[in-house]
Amino acid sequence: MNIWELLCFFTALYAAVVFAQEEDWKYENNGTAAWGDAYPACRGTQQSPIPLTRDGAKLWWPSMQRQAGFRIDLQNYGTAQQGVFVNDGKSVALIFNYTDISSAPHLIILNNGSVASYSLTRLHFHWPSEHWIYNQRYPLEMHMTHRDDNNNTLVLSILFTTECSVPSDGMQTVAAAVRRVKHSGDSVPIEDFAPVRLLPPFLQRDCGYYMFPGSLTTPPCSQDVLWLVHEVPLCIGRSQLEAFQNVERADGGLLASNARPLQAVNGRQVLYLPCQH
Ligand SMILES: [Zn+2]
């Protein structure tokens, strides 16, 4: 091997390493089955999404205990925020841009004196839904990604249905933004959007959740995610749903579906928080 062959060899090796690091992943053509090749965590034992039923879940806590200090508190979700709505080729996402981090929406889990607080960083969508409830799949699922001070992730998941009459207040703004980011790489600014517009009605906001440990539903599939999936779907209009279904991938093809198939529960404990209102 002369110096040029050696150089070519190392150039090729370098390119292979870089390519491997930046190896893309995809949904189409059964692409999800191959994620574990480049991202081993995707073959882990606590992966998301999973099927959910109340019958298979443990009650989060008995009603008496609940009154003694267990609850979910959503703070600052009613504050109008700025952000940017993007098509990253795998989904569409609203990335919040807080001028004052103390005004960021945060989800607090109070548990008999202990307090865990997670700040909302962004939200994105999957169509159709990734989680199923009672064997039912929904046409759309929203993931609100939160982080705490130790970089632990909590995802609050809201499902959407077209079996309804009045679309949720926030979906009009979101669907309009989705139509403007049809192509991968597109982005539009979002002004004065309060995340509460994409949450269940007030009386259901602190209950009706499934809670369980899981993973990111996209590579690298990290298994450090606390999931909260709300059981009550919000309303989306059929033409609004079509806006999501017309989003394009990076290669210009239609992103017809960006939902990972159901993963094995593997004995995980799923908790359910009933409403008592
Ligand atoms: Zn997601």
Compute, in angstroms, the gap from residue 5 CA to the centroid of ligand 1: 45
For range 9-32, the mean pLDDT: 65
* pLDDT of res. 203: 79
For range 216-220, the mean pLDDT: 98
- d(C-alpha 99, C-alpha 232), whole Å: 32
Residue 130 has pLDDT above 50, yes or no: yes
CA-closest candidate to residue 221, choices 59, 3, 36 = 36
Compute, in angstroms, the gap from residue 259 CA to the centroid of ligand 1: 8
Compute, in angstroms, the gap from residue 82 CA to the centroid of ligand 1: 21
* pLDDT of res. 56: 81
Query: Which residues lie near ion ligand 1 (Cβ < 5 Å)?
Result: 143
In tens, the pLDDT along 36-54 reads 999 999 999 999 999 999 8
Q: Which amino acid is at 256?
A: A
Residue 8 has pLDDT above 60, yes or no: no
Q: Which two tokens stand for residue 21?
A: 């690091």
End-to-end CA distance of the chain: 77
Say which range, 62-76, 82-96, 201-215, has the weakest mean pLDDT.
Answer: 62-76
Q: In terms of C-beta density within 10 A (0-12 exposed, 13-18 middle, 19 or more buried), how is residue 172 classed?
A: middle
Compute, in angstroms, the gap from residue 142 CA to the centroid of ligand 1: 7
For range 78-101, the mean pLDDT: 95
* pLDDT of res. 202: 82
The CATH topology of domain 33-273 is Carbonic Anhydrase II (3.10.200)
Q: In terms of C-beta density within 10 A (0-12 exposed, 13-18 middle, 19 or more buried), how is residue 197 classed?
A: middle
Whole-prediction pTM: 0.89
- Which tops the pLDDT comparison, 25 or 62? 25
- d(C-alpha 187, C-alpha 93), whole Å: 9
Please report, for residues 17, 46, 91, 126, the alpha-carbon distance to residue 223 in angstroms, rounded to integers and kept in the order given. 25, 6, 20, 19
Predicted confidence band at 11 (pLDDT cuts at 50, 70, 90)?
Answer: very low
Compute, in angstroms, the gap from residue 253 CA to the centroid of ligand 1: 20
In tens, the pLDDT along 152-197 reads 999 999 999 999 999 999 999 999 999 999 999 999 999 999 999 9
Compute, in angstroms, the gap from residue 263 CA to the centroid of ligand 1: 14
Predicted confidence band at 57 (pLDDT cuts at 50, 70, 90)?
Answer: confident
Which helix (H) or strand (E) segment is 176 a member of?
helix 169-179
Compute, in angstroms, the gap from residue 42 CA to the centroid of ligand 1: 14
| CA 237 from centre of chain | 20
Q: Which residue has the tokens 């491997």?
A: 20
Q: Which amino acid is at 186?
A: D
- d(C-alpha 51, C-alpha 57), whole Å: 11
Phi/psi of residue 238, nearest 5 degrees: -65, -40
Compute, in angstroms, the gap from residue 114 CA to the centroid of ligand 1: 28
Q: What is the DSSP letter of 129?
A: -
CA angle 247, 249, 250 (to 5 degrees): 135
Reduced to 3 states, what is the DSSP secondary structure of residue 265? coil
Compute, in angstroms, the gap from residue 160 CA to the centroid of ligand 1: 14
